[in-house]
Amino acid sequence: MVGLATVFGAGGGTSSYAEIEDTDVIVLWGSNAREAHPIFFHHVLKGVHNGAKLFVVDPRRSASAQWADLWLGNNVGTDIALSHTIAREIIHAGLANTAFIERATTGFDEYRAAVEEWTLERGEAVTGVPADAIRELAHAYAKADRGQLCWTLGITEHHNGVDNVLSLINLALLCGHVGRHGAGLNPLRGQNNVQGGGDMGAIPNRLAGFQDILDPSVREKFGAAWGVTIQDRYGWHLTQMFEAMERGDLHAVYVIGENPAQSEADKEHAVHLLAGLDHLVVQDIFLTKTAELADVVLPGSASWCESEGTVTNSERRVQRCRKALDPPTGARDDIQIILDICRRLGHDWHYGTEPLEVAENVWNEVRSLSPMHAGMSYARLTELNGIQWPCPHEDRLEPSFLHGRLWADDPAERGRLAPFSPVVDEPPVEATTDEFPLRLTTGRRLDSYNTGVQSGGFDSPLRWGESIDVSPEDAATLGLADGEWVRVSSPRGSVNAPVRIDRVLRPGLVFMTFHFPEQVDTNVLTIDATDPKSGTAEFKAAAVRIDKLVDDRASQVAGAAAGN
């Protein structure tokens, strides 16, 4: 979101799902959409059946990569190196879209200089991807009439995740693959309202409608509507909050619908900081591990089926959630809880009485302050099965893609040009060493989700619990058998987990999920190095060691105990 906002001024994917079906080249980079975003992958497959070439960039030969015309299995954390190598090849082959670069971008010369050292040979040496494969992707993407670049947490969950995103945006600018139907940049959001949360201002630097809090006219507009003075400085994102707890600058925390005691990297440290707060309030639909640490727990209702509201998906589509179930006794709508707290704090806000009425009135307040949502009445959202932003007018819809302005003949209409970002390749913070020789990366499986508090409830025939997935080669070297329990250690801690031999992994690379923290607490191993621009942690790259256990049977008991 930060990367796209930096370059284009809007923090959203530039295309729509339907456009993926109508394109020539699809690049999935750091995304196993087949498992993590299955219905998006339906659109990818429509595109493939319609003749698009599919390239997948992923250290693992994932379920998505198995559909690709070409899989580029790069070393973890070498995305900028790969992107720069692709860029240099495009430039040297004379395939850069010079008309678009001259018309719609700035900073090309610095970018060209930054990528010049990334020859195919150097790229191959650093990324582990054969030069021919890099060249094939570069030429296919550059020559395509329409190209789509899609990414997920494989790009963003690094200490330099924003730079990774910027390096991908560079490629789209280099080839003019943005601002046209079928050509665009698509970050696939990991959670159902990540996009909407940011759009609504639930980030420390923006107000609803992605409006910058440092802009005096924005502060004035919101201040006038709310009758308050809005601070003229950014707040803290999650990682900065943890840093502030460590410094002793943050004493009280109110957590709504988040489980940082299990989801944070280097979780032992996170739990220690949460436990040390003067006051912790948790509002959730479950008594999570974080809630167990809280002074006050406020039972909320499930926002997707026990209350009314909207969420925004990865193609910027705002859609209505509706109440289908009565919540359990004592659980209340998040909005009602917040309104009651506000009342106790001396702010008597009125949005009505019925849940639907309250939600619609809150939404109408958003529409009155956020121009990009102004045209989205509840009636229209209902009639049209959701509406993509921007939608400033009630009487029409905008194109399904963003930034068509960059192609305008009139410089005034073109607006702010898109800057190239000459970012620098940086390896993961934690290098593998003789002591910790294996690269651990993490991700999701098809039938599970995050820390498993939601997905753990249903009986999936596909689920086998946590495992440490290793390549057949590493399993042979280490003498490991399928199902054998082993000790996995990183510089931060150790967990016991069963081995699963998986051919999608290359030697030196091991994989775990974080879906089963009660069984195996993967985030004991992960590193909390974070991106200074987005606050996202480097879940994708830790250095680990696998040790055989002396007594396999006894270790299972130890493993279960360690999980408690």
Write out the residues near other proteins by the rule CB under 8 A. 17-18, 22, 36-40, 42, 45, 49, 67, 180-182, 188-195, 285-286, 302-306, 311-315, 317, 319-328, 385-386, 399, 404, 407-408, 446-449, 453-462
Residue 262 vs 490, nearer CB to other proteins: 262
- Minimum separation from the CB atom of position 455 to other proteins (A): 5
Q: What is the Cα–Cα distance from 190 to 532, expressed in whole angstroms?
A: 20
DSSP 372: G
Q: What is the Cα–Cα distance from 149 to 367, expressed in whole angstroms?
A: 31
| SS3 assignment, position 512 | strand
- Minimum separation from the CB atom of position 387 to other proteins (A): 11
Residue 37 vs 53, nearer CB to other proteins: 37
- Minimum separation from the CB atom of position 181 to other proteins (A): 5
Is there a contact between 544 and 488 (Cβ–Cβ < 8 Å)? Answer: yes
- Minimum separation from the CB atom of position 322 to other proteins (A): 5
Q: 390: cis peptide before it, omega within 30°?
A: yes
Q: What is the Cα–Cα distance from 390 to 404, expressed in whole angstroms?
A: 13
Is there a contact between 441 and 76 (Cβ–Cβ < 8 Å)? Answer: yes
Residue 322 vs 548, nearer CB to other proteins: 322
Residue 382 vs 433, nearer CB to other proteins: 382
Integer CA distances (angstroms), 163 to 8, 74, 146, in order? 15, 17, 24
Residue 248 vs 461, nearer CB to other proteins: 461
- Minimum separation from the CB atom of position 463 to other proteins (A): 10
Annotate 409-474 with three-state secondary structure.
CCHHHHCCCEECCCCCCCCCCCCCCCCCCEEEEECCCCCCCCCCCCHHHCCCCCCCCCCEEECHHH
Is there a contact between 321 and 308 (Cβ–Cβ < 8 Å)? Answer: yes
- Minimum separation from the CB atom of position 309 to other proteins (A): 9
Residue 73 vs 187, nearer CB to other proteins: 187
- Minimum separation from the CB atom of position 164 to other proteins (A): 18
| C-alpha closest to that of 288 among 529, 462, 450 | 450
> For residue 446, which phi and psi values (nearest 5 degrees)?
-50, -45
Is there a contact between 150 and 26 (Cβ–Cβ < 8 Å)? Answer: yes
- Minimum separation from the CB atom of position 190 to other proteins (A): 6
Q: Are strands 493-501 and 509-512 parallel, antiparallel or unpaired?
A: unpaired
| C-alpha closest to that of 305 among 331, 340, 287 | 331
DSSP H/E element including 3:
helix 2-8
Residue 305 vs 476, nearer CB to other proteins: 305
Residue 22 vs 474, nearer CB to other proteins: 22
Q: What is the Cα–Cα distance from 90 to 489, expressed in whole angstroms?
A: 42
Is there a contact between 540 and 442 (Cβ–Cβ < 8 Å)? Answer: yes
Specify the residue for token string 């601002």: 179
Integer CA distances (angstroms), 207 to 232, 317, 542, in order? 12, 19, 35
Q: What is the Cα–Cα distance from 235 to 103, expressed in whole angstroms?
A: 36
User: What is the maximum span of the chain, computed from C-alpha positions, in angstroms?
Assistant: 74
Residue 33 vs 171, nearer CB to other proteins: 33
- Minimum separation from the CB atom of position 45 to other proteins (A): 5
- Minimum separation from the CB atom of position 425 to other proteins (A): 28
- Minimum separation from the CB atom of position 84 to other proteins (A): 28
- Minimum separation from the CB atom of position 212 to other proteins (A): 23
Residue 244 vs 331, nearer CB to other proteins: 331
Residue 320 vs 332, nearer CB to other proteins: 320
- Minimum separation from the CB atom of position 408 to other proteins (A): 7
Q: What is the Cα–Cα distance from 519 to 136, expressed in whole angstroms?
A: 43
Residue 154 vs 422, nearer CB to other proteins: 154
Residue 182 vs 422, nearer CB to other proteins: 182
Phi-psi region of 465 (alpha: psi -120 to 50; beta: other; left: phi over 0): left
Q: What is the Cα–Cα distance from 195 to 372, expressed in whole angstroms?
A: 14
Joined together, the tokens standing for residue 307 give 């209350």
